[in-house]
Amino acid sequence: MSASLAIARPKIAPFYPPRRTLMGPGPSDVYPSVLAAGAKPTLGHLDPLFVGMMDEVKTLLQYAFQTRNEMTLAVSAPGSAGMEACFVNLVEPGEKVIVCRNGVFGERMRQNVERIGAVAVLVDNEWGKCVDVSAVEAALKANPDAKFLAFVHAETSTGARSDAQALCALAKRSGCLTIVDAVTSLGGIELRVDDWGIDAIYSGSQKCLSCVPGLSPLSFSPAAVAKLKARTTPVQSWFLDQTLVMGYWSNATGAKRSYHHTAPVNALYALHESLRLLADEGLENAWARHAAMHELLRDGLEKLGIQFVVDAEYRLPQLNAVHIPAGVDDAAVRAQLLNDYNLEIGAGLGALAGKAWRIGLMGYGARRENVALLMNALTNVLKA
pLDDT, averaged per 10 consecutive residues of the chain (384 residues), comes to 83 96 98 98 94 95 98 96 98 98 97 98 96 98 98 97 98 98 98 98 98 98 97 94 85 69 95 98 98 98 96 97 96 97 96 96 98 98 92
pLDDT given for residue 200 in this prediction: 98
Question: What distance in Å separates the CA atoms of residue 41 and residue 178, rounded to the nearest whole number?
Answer: 39
pLDDT given for residue 19 in this prediction: 95
Work out the number of other CB atoms within 10 angstroms of the CB of residue 165: 16
CA angle 186, 187, 190 (to 5 degrees): 80
Q: At what angle do helices 79-90 and 242-249 cross, to 10 degrees?
A: 120
Q: Helix H segments across the chain?
A: 32-38, 48-65, 79-90, 104-116, 133-142, 164-173, 193-196, 222-229, 242-249, 265-281, 283-303, 330-341, 368-383
CA angle 101, 104, 109 (to 5 degrees): 60
Residue-wise over 325-356: b if at least 16 C-beta within 10 A, else e? eeeeeeeebbebbbeebebbbbbbbeebeeeb
Q: Helix H segments across 201-282?
A: 222-229, 242-249, 265-281
pLDDT given for residue 246 in this prediction: 80
Give the phi and the psi of residue 347 in degrees, each rounded to 5: -85, 165
Instruction: Give the list of residues 6+ apart from residue 164 with CB closer than 8 angstroms, or none.
Output: 151, 153, 180, 191, 196, 198
Instruction: Of 25, 349, 368, give the one whose Cα is nearest residue 185.
Output: 25
pLDDT given for residue 255 in this prediction: 62
Q: Taking a C-beta distance cutoff of 8 angstroms, is the pair 309, 159 a contact?
A: yes
pLDDT given for residue 5 in this prediction: 86
CA angle 211, 161, 343 (to 5 degrees): 45
Instruction: Of 87, 57, 85, 83, give the one whose Cα is nearest residue 72.
Output: 57
Work out the number of other CB atoms within 10 angstroms of the CB of residue 250: 17
Question: What distance in Å separates the CA atoms of residue 247 and residue 94, rounded to the nearest whole number?
Answer: 29
CA angle 176, 181, 184 (to 5 degrees): 155
Helices (H) and strands (E) in the chain, counts: 13, 14
Q: Taking a C-beta distance cutoff of 8 angstroms, is the pair 212, 183 a contact?
A: no
Instruction: Of 144, 118, 150, give the one whose Cα is nearest residue 233.
Output: 118
Burial of 254: CB neighbours in 10 Å, binned 0-12, 13-18, 19+ = exposed
Question: What distance in Å separates the CA atoms of residue 48 and residue 193, rounded to the nearest whole number?
Answer: 30
Work out the number of other CB atoms within 10 angstroms of the CB of residue 281: 14
Question: What distance in Å separates the CA atoms of residue 143 and residue 223, rounded to the nearest whole number?
Answer: 21
Whether omega before 27 lies within 30 degrees of 0, making that bond cis, reads: yes
pLDDT given for residue 252 in this prediction: 61
SS3 76: coil
